[in-house]
Amino acid sequence: MIQYGVTALGKDSPFPADCALSWIIRVALNPSIQPCWTTSQVKIALVAGEASGDLLGAGLIKALRNRVPDATFEGVAGPAMIAAGCECWEDAETLAVMGLVEPLKVLPRLLRLRRSLVRRWTNDPPDVFVGIDAPDFNLGLEIKLKARGIPTAHYVSPSVWAWRQGRIKTIRKAADCVLCILPFEKTFYKKHGVRAEFVGHPQADKAPLHKDKAAARRKLGVESVGPIVAVLPGSRSSEVSRLGPIFARAASMLLERDPNTRFITPVATPRLRHMIESQLEEAGVTSAFMLLDGQSEDAMAAAEVVLLASGTAALESALLCKPTVAAYRIAPLSIAIIRTFGLIKLKNFTLPNLLTEEPLVPEFIQEDATPQALAHAVGEFLESPERVAVIRERFATLRTELALDADQRAAEAVLSLIPQSTP
């Protein structure tokens, strides 16, 4: 357990004198830093799902270290969390599955992993557990850990306000606190008797106030006499396998309209590169594409228009004030179940459209996500500067609405769950 505030520094202090002095100086210069020094080391367990959760986890770990400099972190992590100091027991990409049916293929492996985590943390409990996204995996884990007396937080609310609203009962049993990144979510949870905190959106915190298109092109070494389109087919292999060929054919159609058009694709993970290269080759558009290892922000900043798989990248594009076209496809059986039982409650599914008064991102789901439709939507943006100007102006306000220093606010909420020791 931890003791909040700065304890007296004496011979029993766990920090050497020079370390203690450095922290005193840091606190004096930055009042937002509130270290917690204790003779009992704080242990924080985390499970992050896929690349986006890894980035959230890394920011949270850094903010927690500002307050608890000797804390330890362990669990399911990606490269960013590992770099921030998390001991990795399993790669976050293990949880990168999506849909109602798709997870069934890897269900035995995921259940073994969850049982292993429950066993390890039952035998050696952390002071608090943070499940980052990946609700289908983390909520079940949180229920088991909470039942064993371990405080739990769930970072990034499931889209329970949009579909499968019955999950609110599971969330209530699983999480002592839900850390929300969208402004309307806290009100929703309060209505259902679940503690929630709106921490702001980390992407908004990191979004530059102004990202120069020419500078981004110079950085990437892009030269084009025609328009540039950023193409992001997703970060999961299931997304890329379904959307990649459609995006590639849409690019082919855009090239027919203007042979000088060029495309930039930031490849989310190395394992996706070969799949994307094969899709581009099959569509005959390889020479018009530049593939990057990551660098999604630079790719979008360099483009006139962004074509992407609906997800976290859609908000990133909006925060860069880019006209955006979104698409999504899931397994046929999954969409059949969703439609049969009316599981989706919202008209729009792309995040920026949920945050603006009227939808500004053309979105295409399932059979509507065709090469023709996507090429037409991208082409309309390329030929409508007045419409683009309106979209840029509205997207510019999103940053101020969402940029609240999410890492620090999330860290405060997580630490509030840990019982304080008596000085």
213 plus 259 within the same structural domain: yes
Locus of tokens 């919202």: 346
**For position 420, what pLDDT does the model report?**
76
Strand order in the sheet with 289-293: 289-293, 262-267, 228-232, 305-309, 324-328, 363-365
Structural domain includes residue 422: no
CA atoms within 13 A on the CB side of 7: 19
89 plus 114 within the same structural domain: yes
Query: In 3-state terms, what secondary structure has residue 217?
Result: helix
164 plus 278 within the same structural domain: no
Structural domain includes residue 271: yes
Range of the domain at 232: 206-402
Locus of tokens 């998390």: 86
Number of domains comprising the chain? 2
Locus of tokens 């880019």: 322
346 plus 225 within the same structural domain: yes
Reference 341, options 140, 165, 185; nearest CA is: 165
Structural domain includes residue 3: no
Locus of tokens 């899709």: 279
Reference 65, options 89, 92, 41; nearest CA is: 41
User: Over the chain (423 residues), what is each successive 10-residue block's mean pLDDT?
Assistant: 37 36 41 46 93 93 96 96 97 72 72 96 98 94 98 94 81 98 93 96 87 92 90 92 97 97 94 96 97 94 96 92 94 72 70 91 94 98 95 91 95 94 40
Structural domain includes residue 1: no
CATH number, residue 154:
3.40.50.2000
**For position 13, what pLDDT does the model report?**
35
Query: pLDDT (tens digit, 9 = 90+) per residue, 24-36?
Result: 443 444 444 444 4
187 plus 275 within the same structural domain: no
**For position 101, what pLDDT does the model report?**
52
260 plus 188 within the same structural domain: no
For the whole model, what pTM was predicted?
A: 0.71
**For position 381, what pLDDT does the model report?**
97
Query: pLDDT (tens digit, 9 = 90+) per residue, 164-207?
Result: 778 899 999 999 999 999 999 999 999 999 999 999 999 899 88
196 plus 277 within the same structural domain: no
User: Contact at 8 Å (CB) between 150 and 322?
Assistant: no
**For position 29, what pLDDT does the model report?**
45
225 plus 178 within the same structural domain: no
**For position 320, what pLDDT does the model report?**
95
75 plus 213 within the same structural domain: no
**For position 191, what pLDDT does the model report?**
94
183 plus 229 within the same structural domain: no
* Cα–Cα dist 231/241, whole Å: 14
